[in-house]
């Protein structure tokens, strides 16, 4: 981990588990001032106990006004990781209005709200990273809602990169296939489901948690200082198979 993260203020949503939690741990270990956001109080407290230097904010990002009021009190920041997300995997015919609203509220509306609220706090030279998915550009069985939201996230990424670039704020996304976080295991642990997808990945495996984090760290660092509006597909060759 580069020393350039030292004293940088970085906000991570969806910090209670999976990618968000491990990212918070690694950034804090590298000297960053991490602000961890999650709706799960218990998981945030567990994170705080293991890494006391991390500041935690328990909040349900589906609450538009509370999110704005809480995050508007933060100090100036150097990085924002929009990582919070949900995946409701069902056939199209079985999806409900509540499924639709919950998925778009967290995966799209909250990203919009958090980013807009924190925009005045973002320093010149700061970086916004969206945790998107290869499902934004490719279709997978049962992922119609999830795919639609991630396509919207990719569109936000490109539009924000264009609009915020003149302010010297970069916006990029990481777009993995399956990542074996708890959510990934819940959906893809059955070989009958994972087998057909793995057959289209030349490396014959899914994305590791650390590989996603490495992509995020790259976008946060000065090594990507001229990378803006980019989608980093972490897919093991899926797109060339």
pLDDT at 178: 83
pLDDT, tens digit (0-9, with 9 covering 90-100), for 198-213: 888 999 888 899 999 9
CB 130 within 8 A of CB 153: yes
> Does residue 150 form part of some domain?
yes
> Does residue 212 form part of some domain?
yes
pLDDT, tens digit (0-9, with 9 covering 90-100), for 185-197: 777 778 887 888 8
pLDDT exceeds cutoff 70 at 236: yes
Q: Which residue, 232, 241, 215, 203, is CA-closest to 136? A: 232
> Does residue 239 form part of some domain?
no
Which percentage of the chain shows pLDDT scores above 90?
81
pLDDT at 2: 64
- Predicted TM-score (pTM) of this structure: 0.94
pLDDT category, 1, cuts 50, 70, 90? Answer: low
Sign of the CA dihedral running 74, 64, 212, 161: negative
Q: Which residue, 187, 173, 188, 175, is CA-closest to 229? A: 173
- What is the arithmetic mean of pLDDT over 226-240? 94
In angstroms, how far is CA 25 from the centroid of its own chain? Answer: 15
pLDDT at 104: 98
- What is the arithmetic mean of pLDDT over 39-57? 97
Task: Give me the number of domains the chain comprises.
Answer: 1
Q: How far apart are CA 219 and CA 227, in angstroms?
A: 8
pLDDT, tens digit (0-9, with 9 covering 90-100), for 64-112: 999 999 999 999 999 999 999 999 999 999 999 999 999 999 999 999 9
- Known catalytic residues are 146, 150
- What is the arithmetic mean of pLDDT over 116-134? 97
> Does residue 238 form part of some domain?
no
pLDDT category, 53, cuts 50, 70, 90? Answer: very high
CB 200 within 8 A of CB 241: yes
What burial class does residue 48 get, using C-beta atoms within 10 Å of its C-beta: 0-12 exposed, 13-18 middle, 19+ buried?
A: middle
> Does residue 20 form part of some domain?
yes
- What is the arithmetic mean of pLDDT over 138-152? 93
> Does residue 52 form part of some domain?
yes
pLDDT category, 113, cuts 50, 70, 90? Answer: very high
> Does residue 241 form part of some domain?
no
pLDDT at 180: 75
Containing structural domain, residue 54: 3-233
pLDDT category, 152, cuts 50, 70, 90? Answer: very high
> Does residue 190 form part of some domain?
yes
CATH number at residue 207: 3.40.50.720
């Amino acid at each position: 981990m580069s020393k350039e993260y030292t004293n940088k203020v970085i906000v991570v949503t969806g910090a209670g588990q999976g990618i968000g939690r491990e990212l918070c741990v690694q950034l804090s270990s590298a000297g960053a001032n991490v602000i961890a956001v999650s709706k799960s109080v218990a998981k945030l407290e567990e994170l705080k106990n293991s890494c006391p230097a991390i500041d935690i904010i328990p909040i349900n990002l589906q609450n538009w006004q509370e999110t704005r009021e809480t995050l508007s009190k933060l100090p100036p920041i150097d990085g924002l990781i929009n990582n919070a997300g949900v995946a409701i995997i069902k056939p199209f015919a079985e999806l409900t209005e509540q499924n639709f609203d919950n998925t778009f509220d967290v995966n799209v509306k909250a990203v919009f709200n958090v980013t807009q609220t924190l925009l005045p706090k973002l320093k010149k030279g700061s970086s916004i990273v969206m945790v998107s998915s290869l499902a934004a550009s490719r279709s997978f069985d049962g992922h119609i809602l999830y795919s639609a939201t991630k396509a919207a996230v990719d569109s936000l990424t490109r539009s924000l990169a264009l609009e915020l670039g003149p302010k010297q704020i970069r916006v990029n996304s990481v777009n993995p296939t399956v990542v074996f976080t708890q959510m990934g295991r819940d959906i893809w642990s059955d070989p009958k489901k994972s087998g057909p997808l793995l057959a289209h990945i030349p490396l014959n495996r899914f994305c590791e948690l650390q590989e996603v984090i490495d992509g995020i760290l790259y976008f946060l660092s000065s090594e990507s200082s001229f990378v803006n509006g980019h989608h980093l597909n972490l897919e093991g060759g899926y797109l060339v198979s």
